[in-house]
Chain A
Amino acid sequence: EAGVVQSPRYKIIEKKQPVAFWCNPISGHNTLYWYRQNLGQGPELLIRYENEEAVDDSQLPKDRFSAERLKGVDSTLKIQPAELGDSAVYLCASSSDREGRNIQYFGAGTRLSVL
């Protein structure tokens, strides 16, 4: 069974540029999460989707960040414009109701460097 797939693995951009990350969750997982992991810290939740609905986006900086999960499968996370402080690893995870939402499977992440 394929795991959570994220792309790109690495992205280097200049500040004020836009950037987008893509995530394909495990097949059949209805809940999808985006986390941000700053250097030397644990991941922090940005947004959670139940199917195509964003049910928890309280930690998403909505002035520059946006996300979508059309058709309740793949998801994209966008930053526009990027700032220096956005440099981090962006992780996607998914879970199923069958196993429980606290059993989450993570992708390898996208490492973003903003110059």
Chain B
Amino acid sequence: AQSVTQLDSHVSVSEGTPVLLRCNYSSSYSPSLFWYVQHPNKGLQLLLKYTSAATLVKGINGFEAEFKKSETSFHLTKPSAHMSDAAEYFCVVSDLSNAGNMLTFGGGTRLMVKP
């Protein structure tokens, strides 16, 4: 079985300061991990993915995430927040425990960016 816990439902930062969105996962197999972003009234957009290659993954818009197996974590970071980063972020896990590579979403973290 697989599951994802996003530790913060809301995160507020000032523009230009670092962003940290926390995610812990549980998986019976070697997982694939993803971060998606959802802007208001828009579809989910893939930010980045980890699929057992380099543990530090770089994504779009300056975001990156580090896979830490010992901590079962996959936190999302960005050095400097922009106003346009305000959105809902979802951490997602997928493993081989099901034939369909089903995606299991976390509950989401709403990122607010203050001017």
Interface residues of A (CB under 8 A from B): 3-4, 9, 40-45, 48, 55-56, 91, 93, 100-109, 111
Contact = CB atoms under 8 A, between A and B. Distances in A.
Contacts of B92: 42
Interface residues of B, number: 23
A55 B4 CA distance: 24
B76 to A, nearest CB: 15
A55 B100 contact: yes
B77 interface: no
Contacts of A106: 36, 43-45
The interface residues of chain A, by DSSP majority, are classed as loop
Contact of B42 (A42, A43, A48, A108): A108
Interface of B: 4, 9, 32, 34, 36, 41-46, 49, 90, 92, 94, 100-103, 105-108
A1 B70 CA distance: 40
A45 B103 contact: yes
Contacts of B46: 103, 105
Contacts of B49: 103
